[in-house]
């Protein structure tokens, strides 16, 4: 069984167990299941796994970006990759939110009626000013940027270092080789962490589902159904059309090969923590050269959030309707613009999309406490939109790579390419170990 299949099984079993705990009422505060199973065992396993993924992100992005820049070897081409991916990321986000608004304005009024009576409370967090977002791309202190995992700053510094190494020329060759080796080692580390995914994903899902407010889900059914429909439409419709339009490639292959990244994004609710898996899927399975993917993947995980923008569009229409506020064309255009901007400033971590939504609400004059209404169901929806977010990153990476002739089309088309077989990892590790032991023995 492939790793993906195992993880999918684990996901299913996790959901079933979570539902059993939730519906059976076993998750009572202070009870054994709550204390030791959900809040104990599942929490620890899930947290360890997410932390292991996060551990990989910074060194992986650093080494793969430097080797990517050295691989491109041409600063002009680097600029082209940057501009193209930025443009496509913004375009896909704008389309996503426009479709979401269109769908929800057509459907939501049919199934829910305005009722401003609400006891929900939500206090807005300060959203960063856009000017600060741009200034903050440059790290004042590189160590701090790495320590805090500030992705845009790390990208900025790594590219600059790569360019500088290019300028140093011949003298930097051995270092470049070293970086290449470290990049490969980091990729191996990704497969090692991925091998533990079945157990971790089971724990993550069992915990998440057992804690879900299922009754809330039914109360907010209109919001949830429209949002999920918009997410699916974007995933299977818009993104695949964009892929096919720009590359003429078969989108079903991408959908199949990006599943690992989607499952990891779904389980962790974090595009950022999923970077290692997305990068692996995009390079080893879809055939995007590291020179493009090393930039587009972490960049996308930071600034491109189609799923989040969709949630913001649907939520705005839903809350405006509940409060009986007419947004009008200008209001909707403002929502589109604000959500696109908000997605640049949103970090790819759990739940931030909802915080950034307050920025959109303030701008169009909707009551921020309205967000409190949808807070209870956001956990599950965050998982879904994060899976859409990383798919958008993969699609844009593939489109940019194809246009730059950095896409290995035969690898893209080969269905089995880059599959992580758990067994294969074991054998690989065993073989490598055997070799090391052998050489040590020979020496002694």
Residue 220 CB, shortest distance to ligand ASP, in Å, is 17
Instruction: For CA atoms 261, 350, 193, 278, give the dihedral sign.
Output: positive
Residue 414 CB, shortest distance to ligand ASP, in Å, is 29
DSSP 333-350: HHHHHHHHHHHHH--SST
| Residue 234 touching ligand ASP (CB under 6 A) | no
Q: For residue 376, what are the CA distances in angstroms to 19, 170, 212, 220, 322? A: 17, 58, 8, 9, 16
| Residue 302 touching ligand ASP (CB under 6 A) | no
> What is the token pair recorded at 284?
């080893």
Q: At 23, give phi and psi (nearest 5°).
A: -75, -30
- Going by C-alpha positions, the residue among 137, 117, 423, 113 that lies closest to residue 299 is 137
| Residue 125 touching ligand ASP (CB under 6 A) | no
| Residue 313 touching ligand ASP (CB under 6 A) | no
Q: Which C-beta is closer to ligand ASP: that of 265 or that of 317?
A: 265
Among 158, 262, 270, 302, binds ligand ASP (CB under 6 A): 270
Q: Which stretch binds ligand ASP (CB under 6 A): 35-43, 108-116, 282-290, 381-389?
A: 381-389
Residue 318 CB, shortest distance to ligand ASP, in Å, is 16
| Residue 183 touching ligand ASP (CB under 6 A) | no
Q: Which C-beta is closer to ligand ASP: that of 260 or that of 382?
A: 382
Contact in structure between 69 and 162 (CB atoms under 8 Å): yes
Give the position of tokens 């040590």.
440
Chain positions 323 to 352 lying near ligand ASP, rule: CB under 6 A, are: 346, 348-352
| Residue 269 touching ligand ASP (CB under 6 A) | yes
Q: Which C-beta is closer to ligand ASP: that of 276 or that of 350?
A: 350
Q: From CA 381, how far away is CA 369, in angstroms rounded?
A: 19
Q: Which C-beta is closer to ligand ASP: that of 331 or that of 350?
A: 350
Q: From CA 267, how far away is CA 2, in angstroms rounded?
A: 18
- Going by C-alpha positions, the residue among 378, 316, 305, 382 that lies closest to residue 340 is 305
Q: Tell me, by CB under 6 A, how many residues bind ligand ASP.
A: 16
| Residue 389 touching ligand ASP (CB under 6 A) | yes
Q: From CA 265, how far away is CA 277, in angstroms rounded?
A: 9
**Angle between helix 43-72 and helix 173-195 axes, rounded to 10 deg:** 150
Intra-chain end-to-end CA distance of the chain, in Å: 40
Q: Which C-beta is closer to ligand ASP: that of 153 or that of 247?
A: 153
- Going by C-alpha positions, the residue among 310, 319, 364, 368 that lies closest to residue 340 is 310
Q: Which stretch binds ligand ASP (CB under 6 A): 5-13, 42-50, 234-242, 268-276?
A: 268-276
> What is the token pair recorded at 166?
């290019």
| Residue 267 touching ligand ASP (CB under 6 A) | no
- Going by C-alpha positions, the residue among 255, 219, 220 that lies closest to residue 236 is 255
| Residue 385 touching ligand ASP (CB under 6 A) | yes
Among 39, 287, 353, 370, binds ligand ASP (CB under 6 A): 353
Q: Which C-beta is closer to ligand ASP: that of 176 or that of 355?
A: 355
Residue ranges in contact with ligand ASP by CB under 6 A: 269-271, 305, 308, 346, 348-353, 382, 385-386, 389
């Amino acid at each position: 069984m492939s790793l993906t299949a195992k993880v999918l099984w684990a996901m299913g079993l996790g959901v079933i167990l979570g539902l059993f705990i939730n519906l059976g009422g076993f998750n009572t505060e202070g009870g054994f299941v709550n204390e030791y199973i959900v809040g104990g065992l599942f929490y620890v396993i899930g947290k360890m796994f997410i932390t292991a993924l996060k551990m990989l992100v910074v060194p992986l992005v650093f080494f793969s970006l430097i080797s990517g820049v050295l691989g491109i070897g041409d600063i002009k081409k680097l600029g082209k990759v940057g501009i193209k991916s930025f443009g496509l990321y913004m375009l896909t986000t704008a389309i996503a939110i426009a479709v979401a608004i269109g769908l929800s304005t057509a459907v939501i009024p049919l199934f829910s009626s305005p009722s401003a009576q609400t006891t929900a409370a939500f206090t807005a967090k300060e959203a960063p000013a856009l000017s600060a977002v741009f200034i903050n791309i440059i790290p004042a202190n590189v160590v701090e940027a790495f320590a805090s995992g500030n992705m845009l700053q790390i990208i900025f510094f790594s590219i600059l270092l790569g360019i500088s190494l290019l300028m140093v020329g011949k003298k930097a060759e051995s270092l470049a080789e070293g970086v290449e080796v470290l990049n490969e080692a980091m990729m191996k580390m990704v497969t090692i962490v991925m091998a533990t995914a079945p157990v971790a994903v089971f724990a993550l899902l069992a915990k998440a589902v057992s804690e879900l407010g299922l009754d809330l889900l039914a109360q907010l059914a209109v919001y949830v159904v429209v949002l999920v429909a918009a997410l699916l439409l974007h995933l299977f419709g818009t993104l695949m059309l964009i892929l096919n339009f720009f590359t003429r490639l078969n989108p079903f292959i991408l959908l199949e090969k990006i599943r690992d990244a989607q499952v990891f994004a779904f389980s962790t609710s974090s595009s950022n923590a999923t970077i290692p898996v997305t990068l692996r899927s995009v390079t080893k399975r879809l055939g995007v050269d590291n020179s493009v993917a090393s930039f587009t993947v972490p960049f996308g995980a930071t600034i491109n959030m189609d799923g989040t923008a969709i949630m913001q569009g649907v939520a705005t229409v839903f809350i405006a309707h509940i409060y009986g506020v007419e947004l009008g064309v200008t209001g909707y255009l403002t929502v589109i613009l604000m959500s696109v901007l908000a997605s640049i400033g949103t970090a790819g971590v759990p739940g931030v999309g909802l915080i950034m939504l307050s920025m959109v609400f303030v701008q169009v004059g909707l009551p921020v406490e309205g967000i409190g209404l949808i807070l209870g169901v956001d956990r599950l929806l965050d998982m879904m939109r994060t899976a859409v977010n990383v798919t958008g990153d993969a699609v844009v990476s593939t489109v940019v790579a194809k246009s730059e002739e950095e896409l290995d089309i035969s690898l893209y088309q080969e269905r089995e390419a880059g599959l992580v077989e758990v067994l294969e990892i074991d054998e690989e590790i065993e073989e490598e170990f055997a070799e090391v032991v052998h050489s040590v023995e020979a020496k002694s």
